[in-house]
Amino acid sequence: QVQLVESGGGLAQAGGSLRLSCAASGRTFSSFAMGWFRQAPGKEREFVAAISRSGRITDSAESVKGRFIISGDNAKNTVYLQMNSLKPEDTAVYYCAGRTVTSAATLPDLGSYNVWGQGTQVTVSS
């Protein structure tokens, strides 16, 4: 039942910022966890950041710590990824993902997410 739609991607210069949004369908936010993943050309999809349903637990990849912040607004059924101090290596398609059932997997576990958005392109120029 849950559908995810990303927005906010685009072109940014190195050192700049972008804010990605992921809107979940439905009157209530039913995911047990939400995450952001990215995939660059020729590379496998990788974990970026994730947040528990309660918002009490967050995690992020070492490559983005101190630069990216994940947050959620349950009232708006939306999760955000604030990306600061962007680097050219951040260039990728960014995907929003959700768990619709409880899972014992850790937040960075890509395989634990069963609902995915269509992706939004982020390009960072040098």
pLDDT over 90 at 75, yes or no: no
Range of weakest confidence among 14-18, 70-74, 98-102, 114-118 = 98-102
pLDDT at 26 over 90: no
Segment 64-69 shows an average pLDDT of 98
Q: Tell me: pLDDT of 125 over 90.
A: yes
In DSSP notation, 50-100 reads EEETTSS-EEE-TTTTTTEEEEEEGGGTEEEEEE-S--GGG-EEEEEEEES
pLDDT at 1 > cutoff 80: no
> What percentage of the chain exceeds 70 in pLDDT?
96
